[in-house]
Structure 1
Amino acid sequence: MIRKITAALACAAFIAAACVQSETAEAPATSEEESAPVNPMNEYGMTASNVFLYYADVEAATTFYTRTLGFAVAADYGFAKILRVGPSSFITLVDEEMGMHSASDPKTVAIALITDQLDEWWDYMKDQDVEMRFPYNPVEGRPHHGFVAIDPEGYLLEFERFNVHAENEMLIPVLNETETIYPAEGASDVPPGLGFKATVVWFYYKDMPAIQAFYEDVMGFELIVDQGWTKIYRISPSGYMGLVDETRGMHNFTEKKAVTMSFWTDRIDDWYAYVSNHGSFEMRSEKVEETDRYRAFVAYDPEGYYLEWNVFKDAPDNETLHRMLRGEE
């Protein structure tokens, strides 16, 4: 497989039954642990997924993503730009001076941009002033094809197409039902007819069995693609998370990581109660932080990746974002 948000974003990245008594006996009280949902994804869910990336020059990065790749700005907070990639998958570009990470921290993440127009994207991208990590070299019979580009400050972007293959038997029907998002006419340099329908955020781990158990048993994610040394989970209608064995992937494990994974949900208080009371999480946030634009909290996964939960308020800066989430644009 080729492959600081902020002090203002809420201390976090975007900061993010009564007992029945009878005459004979009293039912035992239900403990917090026993009453916790078996699967928080099924109980509380996620409406969209997002990944925060951190830049020394956020304006230059925004130009690259909007002009060269055609991503639309869903919300502009000045120090942070939320960009839409797929129907419910987003990337947020953060000024390092305001975010939780430095742009000089290791960029231990790759973003797969899923498209049905892979050949056309290669024809366009190879003529742009963009450095390539791996060129396009499709081999017949492989479960996926792609190429890897490097963004202006070093993040890896994998342009990828999943092919009809036994490995992808659960994924392909989902992707076939997922809308492709195309750039608005005249808003970018992208040729007509090129777009993206989903993202996979790849994180790199030392202990794959342990991290797989965490995301499946604690977070409640369901495996949709098993590539052996990588595991892919669907976490929103068009957002996916991939766990990668650091001995096999494009990155090795690092202690610091210039990335935050963000889960958008309408049930943020329920998620906070679950996460903050579960022994598997180290908390960064002491409560759900609140601003005029959003509510958020942050925790860490077992190998140190920042995980942020968000919900966005009906604020003027979020009008376009909410229209996108409702499918109105």
Structure 2
Amino acid sequence: MSTASPTPPSIPKVDGVLTMFYYADLAAAERWYEEVIGFEKILRLDGLALFRVHASSHLALVGDGAGSQQPIVGSNKGAILSIQTSELQQWHQRLFAHQAPGTGHGLHIGCDGLTIEFKVRDPEGYTVEFFEWID
């Protein structure tokens, strides 16, 4: 009998990523991601707004009563939308101009010294983090 572990199959291809956040006030969240963040809305259905974050990465905003989950009350949502960018300062300036909560703290070192970052909060308290890896 062989004691060698079988080789696991290769990881299948991933064609995209869709993150879902749930809201009591979908309209306010939708406006914020469109106007403040500036993401492109690519689909609007009853109870759902879908935004392109990058190429095949998307953010779905789901209204209360739609979808399989419900909005979480409070500031700890258990999820962060983390956006890697080489234009960190430009993102900070844009969100500071829109007075997004969190931009007043400026940029700081994060991830045990591996990133420069800042975080903002959306209308219902989800954290959106913008970061750049330090070379």
TM-score by length of 1: 0.36
Distance 2:11 2:33 in 1: 36
Partner SS state of residue 276, structure 1: helix
Residues 136-151 of structure 1: pairs in structure 2 closer than 5 A: none
Cα 1:193–1:218 change in 2 (3 A) is closer
Matching residue within 290, 298, 311 for 2:119:
298
Matching residue within 264, 270, 283 for 2:102:
283
Q: Report the counterpart of residue 313 of structure 1 in structure 2.
A: 134
Q: Report the counterpart of residue 269 of structure 1 in structure 2.
A: 89
Distance 1:226 1:299 in 2: 24
Q: Report the counterpart of residue 251 of structure 1 in structure 2.
A: 69
- Write the letter of the residue equivalent to 1:269: Q
Structure number with the bigger relative contact order (C-alpha 8 A, sep ≥ 6) is: 1
Structure 1 contact 284–300 (Cα < 8 Å) conserved: no
Q: Which structure would you say has the larger Rg?
A: 1
- Write the letter of the residue equivalent to 1:289: H
Residues 102-251 of structure 1: pairs in structure 2 closer than 5 A: 186=7, 189=8, 191-192=9-10, 194-251=12-69
Unpaired runs of 5+ residues, structure 2, are 1-6
Q: Which has the higher strand share?
A: 2
Structure 1 contact 285–297 (Cα < 8 Å) conserved: no
Number of matched pairs = 125
- Write the letter of the residue equivalent to 2:45: Q
Cα distance, 1:277 vs. partner? 3.2
Cα 1:192–1:206 change in 2 (3 A) is same
Cα distance, 1:212 vs. partner? 1.0
Show CA shifts across 1:170-212 (max 9, x none): xxxxxxxxxxxxxxxx5xx3x4572211110000001111111
Cα distance, 1:289 vs. partner? 0.6
Partner SS state of residue 282, structure 1: coil
Structure 1 contact 285–299 (Cα < 8 Å) conserved: no
Structure 2 contact 82–131 (Cα < 8 Å) conserved: yes
CA RMSD of aligned residues (A): 1.9
Partner SS state of residue 197, structure 1: coil
The structure 1 segments of at least 4 consecutive aligned residues displaced by more than 3 Å after TM superposition are none
